[in-house]
Amino acid sequence: MEPVRFSTPAGLDDVGAPSDFSDRWHDLVSGLIAASTDVSGRGAYVNPAVRASPRGNDRALTWTGLSRPLLMEHRDDRRAAYTAAEERDAQIEYLEWHVERADGRISRVTFTTETPEYWGLLGERHPEAVLSLYRRWVSPEVTKDELFPDGAYDPRNIWNTTRGIMHYIMPINSMGDLLGVSQEVEPSQHAVDGYDALPYSRATGADARINVDLWAMSRHGLEISTAHPPGLYMIGWDDSGWTRPDGTPVADYWTIERGDRGAALRVTYEVPAGAGFQVGDIRIGGRPIEFGAQIAEHIVMSAHVVSGAST
């Protein structure tokens, strides 16, 4: 196969033509991947942009969106785990969210898997596009000065922290971390499950899942590379058993705002106006939704790879 050119996550075109943004993005992503890394056994993790790799099987590496360390720490107190998980810096499974409330109850929750590298580059090359996207998806009240104090894009601006959400801010959520953990070398003691694969004391469900799967494929002599386009996605969600205030099953209250079904970057959960109730009135397992974390626990996250026999 010919080497690939990395397109933007979910293939989004936020700038249009003419622009060198796509070239810059390709270079940024390629720069995060070594030409070839012997992660375990006879196989390797390869950069498909500089080395044509065999394409055999597509695979989605999956995990759930709620922090595994918090669930382990609060194994007997789910409410404590949910409370702690509402802090953005605790949202470490490559999923972050922002909760909106009305009359003290949750009215809307927005989830994102968008990376700071993408928005940093977009802010550098196309600041007007950044402003337009924030006004469309976060609030029409956003001003350029709030996003670009002193002329440089601020990823922790108020509209991506206290007043809303656009992309990751948690330090270990990024494209660099995804591709970095994908190239981590297995210890001499083979990992047989996610607990054996905890990377560098980061007890995340995501990184452990990525490691144990990639190492197993590599031990079988397979070459592995990121799927195209590379990214972190919400691949699905499960609201079975959730009930409205009258006890009947919920309808489909999920909206994909950026990305596609099976590869969503931005998703909201909100009951339509006129329904007579809000998200906070919905019950999961008989308990009302009081935290965005309760919903995050039911979101399936994914990173996609392709693999084939080593040459």
- In contact, 271 and 282? CB cutoff 8 Å: yes
Contacts of 138 (CB under 8 A, 6+ apart): 159, 160, 163, 164, 165, 166
pLDDT given for residue 203 in this prediction: 72
- In contact, 100 and 292? CB cutoff 8 Å: no
pLDDT given for residue 73 in this prediction: 87
pLDDT given for residue 311 in this prediction: 59
pLDDT given for residue 11 in this prediction: 93
Per the confidence metrics, is the pTM higher than 0.75?
yes
Strands (DSSP E) contained in the chain are 36-37, 44-46, 57-64, 96-102, 105-112, 222-226, 233-237, 254-260, 263-270, 283-284, 287-288, 299-309
Distance of CA 254 to the CA centre of its chain: 17
* Cα(6)–Cα(153) distance, integer angstroms: 24
Locate the domains of the chain by residue range. 9-115+168-309
* Cα(296)–Cα(219) distance, integer angstroms: 33
Give the residues of the chain that fall short of pLDDT 50.
none
- In contact, 231 and 197? CB cutoff 8 Å: no
Residue 262's region, left for phi above 0, alpha for psi from -120 to 50, else beta, is left
pLDDT given for residue 54 in this prediction: 65
pLDDT given for residue 205 in this prediction: 86
